[in-house]
């Protein structure tokens, strides 16, 4: 067959009742809580020890605090993670930050900081899949679409994972703000080369995805897995499309995927569903609380172009 699969074109159409307001971001909506006087005194003492370069003593002081309250446990874990990071004990710091994040009790600023620092440490220790998760959670929690430092790290982690389309996506985000960033220029060039070696038109696909998202910005996408062009369809030179409805839950994950309509071949349904289930969004927030979005639709069109 004198043809090559040159990619897929996804046209996204989202229907939601309202756009996400900045004041509804979790970072802004989380209210500060008050530590008990005893715990506050002990944490303050530990911080003073750290300032006096007695970090090991500060860590011991924090570890000796006994509390049953999640907010206090999370706060202690946050400071332990910070101090362990200063000592270069990255793996131990990751554990503390992860525990603090999972308690979901910190105020907005500290929770965001824990997510960001956790991502940095995970990337530093070459745990790139977990780093990507942490950074995407930070983006969702802070309602941030583009941030040079985080997007740079995402580009690097996706490159380490050889996920070239996502590498290109985040490298381009950085270059749109900092066009002289040498590292991102190199990653952008490498990603384009790697993608072109497999399927040149995937570059056009990424542009189409970005354009579609900009036109329908009610719900922000923070991760998109690319559908795989079915081998059986490729061998027969068959093109097709699948239209699906789906919901986004309060965690930003896709669920309840239903095929509304598809081309008569039926060869693309499984690939489209598998890809969509991996997508992730920044959930809408109302009065500081994440809410589910229902009855969204997306159409994925699979195309073959002759050489």
Determine, yes or no, domain membership for 102: yes
Question: pLDDT by residue (tens digit) across 81-117?
Answer: 999 999 999 999 999 999 999 999 999 999 999 999 9
**CA–CA gap between residue 121 and residue 274 (Å, rounded):** 30
**CA–CA gap between residue 127 and residue 14 (Å, rounded):** 33
Residues 240 and 291 in one domain: yes
DSSP code for 230: P
Residues 17 and 41 in one domain: no
Provide the pLDDT confidence category of residue 134 given band limits of 50, 70 and 90. Answer: very high
Q: Which residue range forms the structural domain that includes residue 100?
A: 33-121
Provide the pLDDT confidence category of residue 305 given band limits of 50, 70 and 90. Answer: low
Residue whose C-alpha is closest to residue 234's, from 6, 5, 2:
5
Question: What was the pLDDT predicted at 26?
Answer: 81
Determine, yes or no, domain membership for 207: no
Which domain-ending residue is among 121, 149, 168? Answer: 121
Residues 54 and 17 in one domain: no
Residues 20 and 48 in one domain: no
CATH number for the domain that contains residue 234: 3.30.2420.10
Determine, yes or no, domain membership for 71: yes
Determine, yes or no, domain membership for 51: yes
- CA distances for 208 relative to 114, 205, 212, 229, angstroms: 34, 5, 6, 17
Provide the pLDDT confidence category of residue 67 given band limits of 50, 70 and 90. Answer: very high
CATH number for the domain that contains residue 76: 1.25.40.10
**CA–CA gap between residue 141 and residue 288 (Å, rounded):** 11
**CA–CA gap between residue 92 and residue 89 (Å, rounded):** 6
Residues 286 and 233 in one domain: yes
Residues 8 and 74 in one domain: no
> How many domains is the chain partitioned into structurally?
2
Residues 60 and 18 in one domain: no
Determine, yes or no, domain membership for 84: yes
Q: With contact defined as beta carbons under 8 Å apart, do 19 and 218 qualify? A: yes
Which domain-ending residue is among 75, 101, 121? Answer: 121
Determine, yes or no, domain membership for 215: no
Residues 87 and 11 in one domain: no
Provide the pLDDT confidence category of residue 234 given band limits of 50, 70 and 90. Answer: confident
Residues 19 and 56 in one domain: no
**pTM of the predicted model over 0.75:** no
Residues 38 and 117 in one domain: yes
248-284 burial code (b ≥16 CB/10 A, e <16):
bbeebebeebeeeebbebebbbebbbebbeebbbbbb
**Token duo for residue 139:** 């983006």
Determine, yes or no, domain membership for 174: no
Residues 38 and 91 in one domain: yes
Determine, yes or no, domain membership for 206: no
Which domain-ending residue is among 88, 121, 154? Answer: 121
């Amino acid at each position: 067959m004198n043809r090559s699969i040159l990619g897929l074109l996804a046209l996204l159409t989202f229907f939601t009742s309202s756009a996400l307001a900045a004041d509804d971001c979790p970072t802004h909506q989380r209210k500060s809580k008050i530590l008990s006087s005893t715990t506050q005194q002990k944490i303050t003492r530990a911080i003073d020890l750290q300032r006096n370069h007695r970090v090991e003593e500060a860590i011991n002081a924090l570890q000796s605090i006994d509390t049953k309250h999640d907010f206090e446990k999370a706060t202690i874990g946050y400071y332990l993670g910070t101090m362990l990071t200063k000592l270069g004990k990255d793996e131990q710091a990751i554990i503390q930050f992860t525990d603090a994040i999972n308690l979901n009790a910190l105020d907005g600023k500290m929770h965001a900081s824990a997510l960001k620092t956790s991502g940095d440490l995970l990337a530093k220790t070459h745990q790139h899949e977990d780093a990507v998760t942490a950074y995407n959670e930070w983006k969702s929690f802070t309602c941030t679409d583009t941030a040079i430092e985080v997007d740079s790290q995402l580009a690097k982690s996706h490159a380490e994972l050889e996920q070239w389309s996502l590498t290109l996506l985040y490298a381009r985000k950085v270059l749109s703000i900092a066009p002289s960033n040498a590292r991102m220029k190199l990653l952008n060039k490498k990603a384009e080369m790697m993608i072109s070696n497999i399927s040149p038109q995937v570059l056009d696909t990424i542009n189409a995805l970005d354009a579609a998202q900009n036109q329908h910005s009610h719900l922000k996408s923070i991760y998109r897995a690319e559908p795989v062009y079915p081998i059986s369809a490729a061998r027969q030179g068959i093109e097709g499309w699948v239209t699906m409805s789906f919901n986004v839950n309060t965690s930003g994950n896709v669920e309840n995927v239903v095929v509304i309509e598809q081309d008569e071949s039926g060869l693309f349904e499984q690939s489209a569903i598998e890809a969509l289930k991996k997508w992730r969004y920044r959930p809408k927030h109302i009065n500081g609380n994440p809410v589910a979005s229902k009855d969204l639709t997306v159409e994925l069109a699979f195309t073959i172009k002759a050489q």
